[in-house]
Chains A and B, each alone.
Chain A
Amino acid sequence: MVTKSDYVGLEPAWCPGCGNFGILKALNSALIELKIEPHEVLLVSGIGQAGKLPHYTRGNVFNSLHGRPVPPAIGAKIANSELVVIAVSGDGDAYGEGGNHFLHAARRNHDITYLVHNNQVYGLTKGQASPTSDAGFVTKTTPDGAANPLNPIALAIVSGASFVARGYAGDTDHLASLIKKGIAHRGFSLIDILQPCVSFNHKNTYAWYKERVYELEDERYDRTDRRTALEKALEWGDKIPIGVIYKADLPVYEDQLPALSRGPLVRQRIVPRRGDRLLAEFM
């Protein structure tokens, strides 16, 4: 049986009240409820406060470079398709430094789950604007206000992601259910997580989100329709929807690799002599 004690990691070095605590709690609950043992999961993170998350739980951990959790997560998933692979980023990591990887991982529909802690500000480097900062957001690097924000939900949908959700760090039960759905989904699952930053974002606070965030109701929202989902993705301001915004059955990259039909690459033996039959092609 998988229990809470299986997922106790190092003591977090986050600020008291940080939205990351809610995300950590939701991730642990999701893994426990799915009965996934720590050795079956691989957490690949980037750099930023979010990047530290894997150290604060348990599992296999590859804490990667800034902006790069997605490529090594893809490499590891292809090498061992039995692993549950979860990539973890912040908004700067995912949508700034790692933007190109995000687009193409969505396009190719790799079978990984991507948790993006989106607090609309840089935390680790102390308060600069991020790609998702609201327009006009004043920071030391944007004294005249930030430019227009990028829309990760819309980008993921148009790029070809097959599971696109938005969660909120202040609602851990709902977030845990989203993470469970994302892990269970075959294909690229983005879960963009709204996360208050108590130290550097004094605009998008718990109180600010509480007034705006609402759950998408299952029976009234057709999340399998791409146009409907795109329209929903554009909703931001007085009301902010959370939940699964788009879900589709699309071809999964790993399923199209003939080499994986024989099982995980990592379990296949190396036999140099098999190459003998290639030599004749050159004679």
Chain B
Amino acid sequence: MPVDLNFVVGGEAGQGVQSVGLLLAKVFARSGYHVFADQDYESRVRGGHNFFRVRVSKDKLGAITEDVDILIALDSDSIRLHKAEMTSRGIIIFDGEKVKGVSRKKASLLSIPLEKMAEEMTGDRLMLNTVALGAALCAVGHDLAILNGVLTNHFGNGKVSNRNIVAAKAGYDYAQSRRKGTFGKIEPLSGAKRMLLTGNEAISLGAIAAGCKFMAAYPMTPASSIMEYMAAKSREFGLVMVHAEDEIAAINMAVGAAYAGVRAMTATSGSGLCLMVEGIGLSGITETPIVIIDAQRPGPAVGLPTRTEQGDLQFVLHAHHGDFPRAVLAPASIEDAFWLTVKAFNWAERYQLPVILLTDQHLASSYATIDPPDLSQVTIDRGMLFSEKQDNPSEYMRHRLTRSGISPRAFPGLGKALVVTDCDEHDEEGHLTEDPGQRTAQVQKRLRKISPLSRQTSTLEKYGSRGAETTLIGWGSTYGAIHEAVDILRKGGASVDMLHLNELWPFPKKAVIDAIRKARYSYAVESNATGQVAQLLKAETGYDVSGRILKFDGRPFTPAYIAEAVRKETG
């Protein structure tokens, strides 16, 4: 029987929901299973209802699911809010001495005196989460050896680890004595070791591998953990992360660092990006390469701070006045987030323009298991550089008119060449000018860069029935959910496939049209209210989708939700 298990850890903010969930995810990742985990949290530090879902399978996973097999309920709200999602074999683990009045419904109940046991066994009531963790592993027939290793890694060798190990065993033994036995035995798998990481961690690793030496940012959910990771690694990897006074400063600092010759980036979310817009144009007119991470959340304005949406696509395509080239990438998965970040830095420097990497809260804070990226495959393309050995530095012109539109870059202070640039319109040397001929030539030069860039964007993922009647069109973080929805629909006999975009601008017109023109029906599947990729498709190709499957409640798509919506649409 294929393993597809779904755990939910629920409780108030501050109860340790995130750490229990993450430990659980780590156990199964180390056991050789594929894991996909996501976090649902409120914009508060204490109270409310937070939950962490951990899905486990022998097969690759790219999405969450709604059915819950094991619910670790750290409070009564978690039972109230999730009991309807329990599968028939499901088990709810809770502290019956604390949570009263739980009625037996579909799921079986495993009441454990978590707090009392934690207190008795370890002298620390906070260990109750680990007691629950041990019980959860027992419930699915997974032994404790791997958890013990995970706990030691997590808490370090010493008392805290040992107390956690004792607590886990207590929970395990208690559950064993009341074993319901619906899940059989989940054995560790042998095989290659995988990484378990979030989208933001994958982006940070991509940036470090790509040689990003400078980041400036202002904290904003759900982008902040990129800042924190980069700052934590700054000493070891010789990079600098500046916590700037605001987003305006952040992007302008990044542009300054990039002008001086290092790979530079910033990261924010929608309303932070609103403040950064002037910097996008600054990068555009001064032809300074920067990478901007926009971890989208529902807007407008502050919107839903801790929730997810794909509502910024039309914004980032157009943000700023005037005509100049840019690139927009949107990772489809956590693995893709690593590689697209590397690509973003290469494109930024090769074409000397701003590159925007669009992720969202769902991708930013979800965990997935991936094969470790082969860093020997990371290429560094710094684009055309001026060489003082070959050319006379006194003749250097930063914005030299060239056929490709790309002018060789020199860096200030590294040679004798003077590097002059201006956010006013400028001449080839970089000095401000109002000359109509120069103006026209510089605008055209900048726009010429879009043509070779357009030939780069063509990475289209097509998956599903051959010659499918129905094509689902998605972009960015919804890849995993749509992929699994295609599987569900095909199992039900539908002729369906998916087309997924992770490179959105320049828009790969021809490849997209080739991929969808034979489908009888096409549906844009997007986490926004208006179908922003459908609009882009229409604007660029004239093609109208048959319909739009949209979700903008701030919660991520599940495969079942998409499959059901497609069935309704196609009748």
C-alpha gap A153/B114 in the complex (Å): 62
From B323-331, B412-420, B519-527, give the one contacting chain A. Answer: B412-420
List, in ascending order, chain B residues with CB within 8 A of A38's CB. 418
C-alpha gap A274/B237 in the complex (Å): 8
A65 an interface residue at 8 Å Cβ cutoff?
A: yes
Number of A-B contacts (CB under 8 A): 203
List, in ascending order, chain A residues with CB within 8 A of B419's CB. 60-61
A76 an interface residue at 8 Å Cβ cutoff?
A: yes
Residue in B193, B240, B282, B432 whose beta carbon sits within 8 Å of that of A78 in the complex: B240
A76–B240 CB distance below 8 A: no
List, in ascending order, chain B residues with CB within 8 A of A55's CB. 420, 422, 431-432
B431–A258 CB distance below 8 A: no
**Interface residue ranges of B250-305 to A (CB < 8 Å):** 250, 252-264, 278-279, 282, 286
Indicate the member of B233, B254, B378, B413 with the most A CB atoms within 10 Å: B413
A103 an interface residue at 8 Å Cβ cutoff?
A: yes
A72 an interface residue at 8 Å Cβ cutoff?
A: yes
C-alpha gap A79/B414 in the complex (Å): 12
From A133-141, A179-187, A237-245, A263-271, give the one contacting chain B. Answer: A263-271
From B205-213, B448-456, B563-571, give the one contacting chain A. Answer: B205-213
Interface size bracket, B side: 35 or more
Number of A interface residues in the complex (CB < 8 A) = 56
Residue in A71, A260, A271, A283 whose beta carbon sits within 8 Å of that of B30 in the complex: A283
Indicate the member of B259, B260, B261 with the most A CB atoms within 10 Å: B260
C-alpha gap A226/B454 in the complex (Å): 58
B193–A283 CB distance below 8 A: yes
| Prevailing SS type, chain A contact patch | helix
Least Cβ–Cβ distance between B376 and chain A, in angstroms: 6
List, in ascending order, chain B residues with CB within 8 A of A16's CB. none
C-alpha gap A55/B423 in the complex (Å): 13
- Given A63-B422, A276-B375, is A75 in contact with B214 using a C-beta cutoff of 8 Å? yes
- Given A59-B418, A63-B423, A104-B249, is A265 in contact with B240 using a C-beta cutoff of 8 Å? yes
B373 an interface residue at 8 Å Cβ cutoff?
A: yes
List, in ascending order, chain B residues with CB within 8 A of A73's CB. 256
Indicate the member of B194, B205, B213 with the most A CB atoms within 10 Å: B213
Residue in B196, B248, B262 whose beta carbon sits within 8 Å of that of A79 in the complex: B262
Question: Taking beta carbons and an 8 Å cutoff, which residues of B are in contact with A?
Answer: 29-30, 193-197, 201, 205, 208-211, 213-214, 216, 233-235, 237-240, 242, 244-246, 248-250, 252-264, 278-279, 282, 286, 372-373, 375-376, 378, 380, 393, 411-424, 430-432
Question: Taking beta carbons and an 8 Å cutoff, which residues of A are in contact with B?
Answer: 10, 38-40, 42, 44, 47, 52, 54-55, 58-65, 68, 70-80, 82-83, 100-101, 103-104, 257-260, 262, 265-268, 270-276, 278-279, 282-283
Q: List 10 A-B contacts (CB under 8 A).
A: A52-B432, A60-B412, A60-B419, A63-B432, A64-B252, A68-B252, A259-B237, A259-B240, A282-B201, A283-B193
